[in-house]
């Protein structure tokens, strides 16, 4: 009888060997697995515990509150306000188009913002919220909240946004903020992580930009638990950031708003400076614009309207604009000659209406000439020939040196965008930049602030304050940071002969107070507040010999862009100077008719800290001034930005 196979000893031997091999392999695998598990759980446990924690816990940045900006008296110029927005989460909404359609029935949705949001939704994770409407009202938020069941995935949210309560009055000084752009990031070597937060805002121009680091503050953090795909499950804890530093400017809000209203829609600039310490009390450019439009991104139509305006509302003319200073430069030429001992206040020059230099006639503004004139009369009646003669004796280098001493041709250290340095030309400058030799005619032109000479309204205000005080005053714009005023060094003397400065001041006083003075029409009657000034008119076109022979075309008969610039500088009161003012009206015509009345009104407003008594004005002007004060008062905002009938 044959045995079954399983009972065969040979087969059983083979089976035992297979079982042994299989068991050994299993045992070896289990041993390796155990060793690996020991390595992971014991030897490398700390490393993997950290990795697991990092995968589970995310740290996210919290934007800090931006520092606020105030005027010298604590009036808010730039502040933070709650900003309501409507967000949508794509995966919760389901049919996004249908939800958007329902939402648009409740609140008005800007088409440009909506297109931007839809594009952002497509490139973002489906669980991330995307803003479809920003800066919505509380009433709109309420309507969305009430209809929440019909709007899946739609939630209201609140944050902080910048607001400029005084609209355009401080647009060219404070500037504005806007969303961080790729261009902004490209200019920074190691960008703050805050700048990568969606819709985070930074200063773009003005004080907002120049003091960005102080105003921004430092980020806070929050720890959130997320799942494997990055969805936030819960917030674990948070640490609030540090608010940015508050800035207080030297500007006086009431005066700034008055100056802006007084300039109106002129293409103009004005600067008011304290003659005692250099504080800037007003820095205005007109026309202006509303910086609030830039906070969330200005529309193409609104931006195009600003850029196509020939009065250039976006330009900070007070510090960026440079103009031939015209006759306001004559004090520099005269003072340089006095300091060099080339002339005395009694010396006279004969003015027949022109001076011939190198076979070319350089004309005086008065065609028939002024006859014999001394320094006082030359300043008072703005005789060009007198200064031509002085300049030929002085030479351009000594004129330029005096201009620099009085603050022209320098880029003053202020936290404003696009600060211009102007130009004090010299022989070396022309050879280096123009590749030409300096000629006597260049000196003659420069002596009356024409030719190559350029200055900004700020520089003219600095010049005037230095003439009034005899001190090397520097302009200041920041009064304090977080309530702490920075230390200031004692202002040094200019080192000029006081008698020579007195001669210049007397000449400027005669401009505004002598019946034949070019600024007499804009004088102040009150003895304690009389001002000393100088008119200026700078040409922007060449007058041909043929036109001069036939009669120079009047400014009012020329196209606006070909008319002369009008300038006026002054300080007051004459006995104890407190403020210096510089006004430039682009293509305004004559300094005595266009710029001087504005400067006079600004001066009195600054000295009286509000509307001056009507008795301070000449009798012939009083009715007009009363009407003007009523009109301007309606245009000026109160501390909260309310104007006219909107005031409470």
Which residues form the catalytic set? 327
Cβ-based neighbour number of residue 520 at 10 Å: 18
At 58, give phi and psi (nearest 5°): -110, 145
Which residue intervals of 39-95 are DSSP H helices? 45-56, 90-93
For the record, the structure tokens of 348 come out as 């006279």
SS3 327: helix
- d(CA 106, CA 6) in angstroms, rounded, equals 86
**What six digits make up the tokens of 232?**
């936030």
Name the residue among 160, 161, 164 with its Cα closest to residue 75: 164
- Residues near 299 by Cβ (< 8 Å), separated by ≥ 6? 112, 293
* DSSP states of 83-149: EEEEEEEHHHHSSHHHHHHHHHHHS---HHHHHHHHHHHHHS-TTSEEEEEEEE-HHHHHHHHHTGG
Residue 202's beta-bridge partner residues?
178
Q: How far apart are CA 101 and CA 97, in angstroms?
A: 6
Residue 351, preceding bond cis, omega within 30 degrees? no
Residue 214, phi then psi, degrees to nearest 5: -75, -40
- The CA distance from 459 to 449, in Å, is 13
């Amino acid at each position: 009888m044959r045995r079954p196979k399983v009972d065969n000893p040979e087969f059983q031997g083979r089976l035992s060997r297979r079982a042994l091999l299989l068991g050994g392999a299993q045992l070896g695998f289990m041993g390796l697995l155990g060793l690996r598990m020991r390595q992971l759980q014991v030897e490398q446990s700390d490393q993997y515990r950290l990795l697991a924690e990092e995968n589970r816990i995310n740290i996210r940045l919290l934007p800090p509150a931006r520092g606020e900006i105030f005027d010298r008296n604590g009036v808010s110029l730039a502040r933070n306000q709650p900003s309501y927005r409507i967000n949508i989460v794509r995966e919760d909404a389901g049919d996004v188009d249908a939800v958007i359609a329902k939402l648009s029935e409740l609140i008005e949705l800007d088409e440009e913002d909506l297109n931007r949001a839809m594009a952002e939704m497509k490139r973002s994770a489906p669980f991330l919220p995307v803003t479809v409407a920003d800066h919505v009202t509380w009433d709109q938020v309420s309507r969305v909240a009430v209809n929440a069941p019909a709007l899946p995935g739609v939630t209201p949210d609140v944050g902080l946004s910048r607001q400029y309560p005084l609209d355009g009055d401080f647009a060219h000084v404070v500037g504005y903020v806007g969303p961080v752009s790729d261009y902004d990031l490209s200019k920074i070597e190691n960008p703050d992580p805050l700048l990568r937060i969606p819709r985070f805002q930074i200063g773009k121009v003005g004080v907002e930009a120049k003091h960005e680091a102080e105003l921004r503050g430092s980020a806070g953090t929050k720890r959130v638990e997320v799942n494997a795909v990055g969805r936030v499950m819960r917030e674990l804890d948070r640490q609030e950031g540090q608010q940015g530093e508050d800035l207080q400017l030297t500007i006086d809000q009431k005066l700034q708003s008055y100056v802006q209203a007084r300039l109106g829609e002129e293409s103009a600039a004005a600067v008011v400076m304290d003659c005692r310490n250099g504080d800037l009390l007003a820095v205005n450019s007109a026309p202006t614009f509303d910086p609030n439009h830039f906070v969330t991104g200005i529309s193409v139509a609104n931006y195009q309207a600003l850029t196509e305006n020939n009065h250039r509302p976006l330009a900070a003319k007070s510090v960026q604009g440079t103009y031939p200073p015209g006759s306001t430069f004559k004090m520099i030429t005269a003072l340089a000659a006095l300091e060099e001992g080339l002339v005395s206040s009694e010396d006279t020059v004969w003015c027949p209406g022109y001076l011939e230099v190198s076979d070319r006639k350089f004309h005086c503004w008065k065609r028939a000439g002024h006859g014999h004139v001394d320094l006082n009369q030359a300043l008072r009646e703005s005789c060009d020939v007198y200064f031509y003669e002085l300049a030929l004796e002085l030479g351009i280098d000594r004129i330029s040196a005096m201009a620099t001493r009085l603050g022209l041709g320098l880029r003053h250290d202020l936290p404003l965008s696009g600060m211009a340095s102007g130009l004090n030309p010299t022989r070396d400058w022309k050879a280096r930049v123009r590749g030409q030799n300096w000629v006597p005619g260049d000196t003659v032109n420069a002596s009356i602030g024409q030719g190559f000479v350029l200055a900004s309204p700020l520089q003219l205000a600095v010049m005037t304050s230095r003439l009034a005080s005899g001190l090397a005053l520097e302009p200041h714009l920041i009064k304090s940071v977080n309530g702490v005023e920075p230390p200031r060094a004692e202002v040094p003397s200019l080192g000029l002969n006081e008698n020579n400065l007195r001669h210049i001041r007397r000449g400027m006083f005669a401009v505004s107070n002598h019946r034949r003075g070019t600024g007499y029409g804009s004088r102040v009657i009150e003895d304690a507040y009389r001002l000393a000034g100088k008119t200026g008119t700078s040409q922007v076109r060449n007058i041909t010999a043929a036109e001069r022979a036939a009669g120079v075309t009047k400014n009012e008969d020329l196209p606006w862009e070909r008319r002369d610039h009008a300038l006026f500088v002054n300080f007051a009161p004459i006995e104890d100077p407190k403020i210096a003012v510089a006004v430039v009206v682009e293509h305004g015509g004559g300094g005595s008719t266009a710029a001087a009345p504005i400067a006079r009104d600004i001066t009195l407003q600054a000295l009286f800290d509000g509307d001056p008594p009507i008795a301070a004005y000449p009798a012939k002007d009083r009715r007009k001034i009363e009407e003007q004060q009523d009109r301007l008062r309606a245009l000026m905002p109160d501390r909260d930005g309310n104007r006219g009938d909107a005031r409470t």
